[in-house]
């Protein structure tokens, strides 16, 4: 048996109070989702300014993700333990202060430590935002509340690269963190004045054993995902040992939470709900296809196609526009069409767009070359986020909603992390393959090579061209892998039950 929790009160808002809650929540959500991509664009500049190597610099991203991913599943417990309002305000304030510390960092060590703190406070912002929006609107407006949430969840990562590129090119890298100050203060001020708690804080015993297992399991998992390809995966003793620890800690965590405590730190029993469990599987696939493509595009365009950070980031606007335009329409359609159908069409749309992106990826690709592909991916994405949220939350009570939302959010993040790890492997292996093929054909018997040397080209220049073309072909292959994942995962949508109608 689980310990009882306090009864819930109605916190539905109307008029000006609802508007203020929405503004405050969206400011907090956008602050967190922007940070998930804006830092990636600035990373090369940060490494150069702080004198960090490539391996050292990646910890600016890795440290944040590890801290955040541990906190995400703890979010429902933290809300119950300290009160949702108190926890949310503390998270926003802590995230904002940590952002200031990141922007002021003069060394890599200080920046990484600040990013850990930022991730710990930011991990629960998105799941809590979703729960607050659900209960701020009446039940019949569930679709509207989740459309607002989806806009923040999707538009933040989409706007992060162009905004980060602009700040790096025109101001300084410090502003990719300092940009959080104003929305952080705004969110605390508004929500401090109008946000209400649906329950009183629950002061039961703390499941420290479960917390320890969870921290080790998710921390080691994210470390393996992030560092595996760079260190030859299981061929490296550290990665191999970390993988074993992850498996043991994960098994121990599941067993303890299900059978070893009456007050679990993470209520895994929510996964007994078929729609929630299926939603987590779909969210894993969604995270893989969306964050996978987000990871690949900046690397390809900046390293091999010569885009500036600003121009590379502006590619994501092509994805963001159809999302913003279609999301309100999706909400209206979702009340008449089975959300599983919308999800299936969304995955097919993302697959089609990424296949097209792979076909147009060449050494001559420009900004507008990618336009149609990214617009199609954006349109497909608009059919994924909101229907998924509506389907999962329609199958849960308000008390279960935060648990389901946290699980789906965690699955999305883990899917994205796994995709990035997979794409690193694909890009590395396909780059080697294409290099070998191109090298075998780049001989003096080739007319093109003869013409190249005849126009004054040298061996070093030829090697550079071959390496660049091999990389571009490898990124095209990675794009097709993302499309394949989307196609393979499409049937998962029918594991869900049809959502209840209002």
* Residuewise pLDDT in 10s, the chain (502 residues): 445 556 778 899 999 999 999 999 999 999 988 887 788 778 878 888 888 776 777 788 888 988 999 999 999 999 999 999 999 999 999 999 999 999 999 999 999 999 999 999 999 898 899 999 999 999 889 888 988 888 887 778 778 888 888 888 888 899 999 999 999 999 999 999 999 999 888 877 889 999 999 999 999 998 998 888 888 888 899 999 999 999 999 999 999 999 999 889 999 999 999 999 999 999 998 888 887 877 788 778 878 888 887 888 888 889 888 988 998 899 888 888 888 999 999 999 999 999 999 999 998 899 999 999 999 999 998 899 889 988 898 889 888 989 999 999 999 989 988 888 888 889 889 999 999 888 887 776 677 666 767 766 677 787 778 888 999 999 999 999 999 989 988 898 888 876 555 4
Contact yes or no for 144/331 (Cβ under 8 A): yes
3 state SS for 136-192: HCCHHHHHHHHHHHHHHHHHHHHHHHHHHHHHHHHCCCCHHHHCCHHHHHHHHHHHH
Considering the domain architecture, whether residues 128 and 245 belong to the same structural domain is answered as no
6 within some domain: no
Considering the domain architecture, whether residues 258 and 359 belong to the same structural domain is answered as no
**Run of H or E residues at 237:** helix 237-255
The CATH number of the domain holding residue 83 is 1.20.1250.20
Q: Quick one: tokens of 81?
A: 């333990």
Predicted local distance difference test score (pLDDT) of residue 1: 43
Predicted local distance difference test score (pLDDT) of residue 310: 80
Considering the domain architecture, whether residues 335 and 376 belong to the same structural domain is answered as yes
If phi > 0 it is left, if psi is from -120 to 50 it is alpha, else beta; for residue 337 that is beta
Considering the domain architecture, whether residues 99 and 229 belong to the same structural domain is answered as no
State how many domains the chain has.
3
Contact yes or no for 327/147 (Cβ under 8 A): yes
Give the angle 447-452-456 at the CA atoms, nearest 5°.
Answer: 145
Considering the domain architecture, whether residues 315 and 376 belong to the same structural domain is answered as yes
Please give the C-alpha separations between residue 19 and each of 90, 133, 369, 424, in angstroms, as whole numbers: 21, 11, 40, 43
51 within some domain: yes
Contact yes or no for 125/87 (Cβ under 8 A): no
Q: Quick one: tokens of 23?
A: 């503004």
| Nearest-angstrom CA–CA distance, 67 and 110 | 16
5 within some domain: no
1 within some domain: no
Pick the last residue of a domain from 147, 167, 201: 201
How far is Cα of residue 447 from the mean position of the Cα atoms in its chain?
Answer: 47
Range of the domain at 237: 207-264
Pick the last residue of a domain from 178, 201, 224: 201
196 within some domain: yes
Considering the domain architecture, whether residues 243 and 320 belong to the same structural domain is answered as no
Considering the domain architecture, whether residues 65 and 83 belong to the same structural domain is answered as yes
Considering the domain architecture, whether residues 27 and 48 belong to the same structural domain is answered as yes
Pick the last residue of a domain from 174, 201, 228: 201
Q: Quick one: tokens of 80?
A: 């119950």
Number of H helices, E strands in the chain: 20, 0
450 within some domain: yes
Nearest Cα to 28, choosing from 89, 76, 69, 85? Answer: 89
Q: pTM for the complete prediction? A: 0.87
**Crossing angle of helices 125-136 and 84-104, rounded to 10°:** 140
Considering the domain architecture, whether residues 317 and 423 belong to the same structural domain is answered as yes
Considering the domain architecture, whether residues 317 and 372 belong to the same structural domain is answered as yes
Nearest Cα to 391, choosing from 486, 490, 282? Answer: 282
Predicted local distance difference test score (pLDDT) of residue 494: 86
Considering the domain architecture, whether residues 355 and 502 belong to the same structural domain is answered as yes
| Cβ burial, residue 321 (10 Å; 0-12/13-18/19+) | middle
2 within some domain: no
Q: Quick one: tokens of 61?
A: 């991203």
What's the DSSP call for residue 11? -
Considering the domain architecture, whether residues 146 and 244 belong to the same structural domain is answered as no
Predicted local distance difference test score (pLDDT) of residue 72: 94
What's the DSSP call for residue 4? P
């Amino acid at each position: 048996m689980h310990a009882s929790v306090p009864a819930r009160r109605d916190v539905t808002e109307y008029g000006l109070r609802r508007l203020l809650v929405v503004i405050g929540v969206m400011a907090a959500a956008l602050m967190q989702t922007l940070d998930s991509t804006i830092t990636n664009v600035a990373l090369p500049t940060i490494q150069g300014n702080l004198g960090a190597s490539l391996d050292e610099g990646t910890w600016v991203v890795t440290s944040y993700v590890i801290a955040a991913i541990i906190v995400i599943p703890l979010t429902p417990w933290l809300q119950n333990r300290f009160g949702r309002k108190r926890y949310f305000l503390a998270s926003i304030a802590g995230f904002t202060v940590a952002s200031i510390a990141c922007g002021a960092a003069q060394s890599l060590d200080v920046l990484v430590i600040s990013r850990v703190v930022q991730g710990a406070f930011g991990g629960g912002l998105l799941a809590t935002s979703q729960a607050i929006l659900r209960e701020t609107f009446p039940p019949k407006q569930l679709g509207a509340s989740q459309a607002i949430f989806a806009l923040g969840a999707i538009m933040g990562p989409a706007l992060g690269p162009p905004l980060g590129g602009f700040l790096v090119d025109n101001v300084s890298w410090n502003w990719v963190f300092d940009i959080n100050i104003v929305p952080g203060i705004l969110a605390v001020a508004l929500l401090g004045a109008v946000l209400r708690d649906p329950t009183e804080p629950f002061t039961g015993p703390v499941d420290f054993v479960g917390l320890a297992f969870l921290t080790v399991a998710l921390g080691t998992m994210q470390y393996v995902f992030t560092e595996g390809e760079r260190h030859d995966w299981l061929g490296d003793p550290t990665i191999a040992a970390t993988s074993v620890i992850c498996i043991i800690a994960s098994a121990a965590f599941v067993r303890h939470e299900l059978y070893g405590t009456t007050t679990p730190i993470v209520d895994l029993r929510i996964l007994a709900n078929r729609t929630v469990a299926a939603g987590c599987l779909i969210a894993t696939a969604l995270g893989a296809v969306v964050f996978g493509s987000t990871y690949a595009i900046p690397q390809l365009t900046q390293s091999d196609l010569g885009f500036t950070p600003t121009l590379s980031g502006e590619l994501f606007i092509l994805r963001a526009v159809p999302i913003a335009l279609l999301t309100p329409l999706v909400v209206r359609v979702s009340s008449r069409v089975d959300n599983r159908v919308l999800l299936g069409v969304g995955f097919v749309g993302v697959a089609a767009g990424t296949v097209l992106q792979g076909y147009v990826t060449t050494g001559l690709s420009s900004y507008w070359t990618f336009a149609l592909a990214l617009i199609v991916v954006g349109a497909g994405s608009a059919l994924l986020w909101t229907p998924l949220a509506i389907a999962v939350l329609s199958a849960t009570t308000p008390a279960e909603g935060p648990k389901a939302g946290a699980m789906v959010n965690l699955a999305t993040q883990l899917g994205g992390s796994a995709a990035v790890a997979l794409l690193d492997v694909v890009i590395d292996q396909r780059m080697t393959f294409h290099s070998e093929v191109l090298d075998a054909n780049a001989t003096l018997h080739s007319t093109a090579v003869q013409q190249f040397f005849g126009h004054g080209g040298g061996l070093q220049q030829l090697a550079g061209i071959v390496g660049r073309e091999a990389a571009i072909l490898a990124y095209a292959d990675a794009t097709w892998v993302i499309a394949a994942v989307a196609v393979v995962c499409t049937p998962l949508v029918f594991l869900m039950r049809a959502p209840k109608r209002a």
